[in-house]
Homo-oligomer: A and B are copies of this chain.
Amino acid sequence: MRTTIKDVARRAHVSTATVSLVLNDHRRISADTKKRVLKVIEEMDYHPSQAARGLVSQHTGNIGFILTEDHFLRTEPFYTHIFLGAEFEARKSPYFILLTTVPTNFSDQSPLPRFVLQKSVDAIIIAGKVPDILINRLKDYRIPLVFIDYFPGSGEYPCVLTDNLQGGLLATEHLISCGHEHIAFVGGDIKHPSIRDRLLGYKMALEKHNLPIVKDHIFFKEMPTSKEGGYQATASLIQKSKQITALFSCNDAMAIGAMQYLKENNIRVPKDISVIGFDDIESDLFQDPPLSTIRVSKIDMGSEAFRMVTELLQKKNRSPRKIIIPVELVARQSTCRLSTGKG
């Protein structure tokens, strides 16, 4: 940090206070001086020292971003997209984001992120489901928290969610509109609020169209919502019921696993069984056939969350808000009209 506020002040023939006021866009500064000072700032390529600013303002200028390790590392670039949405938004702000992961099975004993212990962040964004114990331990530090794609059972926090209910409804109604009546739900991680809502949407759609909710058509165990999980869940469903002509998978990863099971067992997609997923992760497109799904704008979720944080820090609004990001049906080739003579 070579050039300081003093250098600017000297060159602009004003005091450092004036430069500071200009920097912070204070109202009581004449348009004239402002222009002059800004010109000098530009000329000298001056950038205020974050350290000095932070020292006096008692803010760190950093926002923490917490993901569990497996969310960050999973094959589908879901959470990385969310992070990037936040990072894009951060570029327009004076804040930097400190990204860190916590163990997926974060416990009593696990160390909290260093930026928490050192109080190096002004607020924290948490994306995806994290253990309750983490949230509880975070509470003691009185750092504002914003959640993305997860809403903790206890406590009132601002959060950004997707319209899971609507998505479940859209996906199921899409299948119904294709003539399917025996639609299975491929689920996992029973306690996850998003998954619950997707299942609820599924049920609502069936009810709405006077279709029965069949117990054997719902796979919903506490298991990872991964490709492997989808593979196993589908195996179980198919073995239990021969009627199924369509699968609504609670996410794309499971849907991809489902498709693999079906392929290996010579069940054609979508001719024999239609498959629809949820999330619209990138790799959907290279599936064979390309996966129909419910699109969730990950970038938007991240940027909305970041915007929430900055509002929070400016105390613009006080009550914890919930933002629901809309979803969209993307019909590709893994779903089709029920072929006549079957189902």
A residues lining the B interface (CB < 8 Å): 1, 47, 49-55, 58, 60, 62, 69, 72-77, 80-81, 84, 87, 91, 96-101, 114-115, 117-120, 227-228, 257, 260, 264, 282-283, 286, 288
Contacts and interface: CB of A to CB of B under 8 A. Distances in A.
Report how many copies the assembly holds. 2
A73 B1 contact: no
B115 A58 contact: no
B227 A73 contact: no
Given A47-B119, A75-B76, A75-B283, 7 more contacts: A47-B117, A50-B60, A72-B80, A74-B77, A91-B100, A97-B99, A228-B286
Nearest to A287: B260
Contacts of A47: 117-119
Contacts of A84: 69, 72-73, 101
6 contacts: A47-B117, A50-B60, A69-B84, A75-B282, A91-B100, A257-B286
Contact of A55 (B49, B75, B98): B49
Contacts of A51: 50-55, 60
B52 A55 contact: yes
Contacts of A54: 49-51
A144 to B, nearest CB: 16
Contacts of A119: 1, 47
A118 B50 contact: yes
Nearest to A283: B75
A119 B1 CA distance: 7
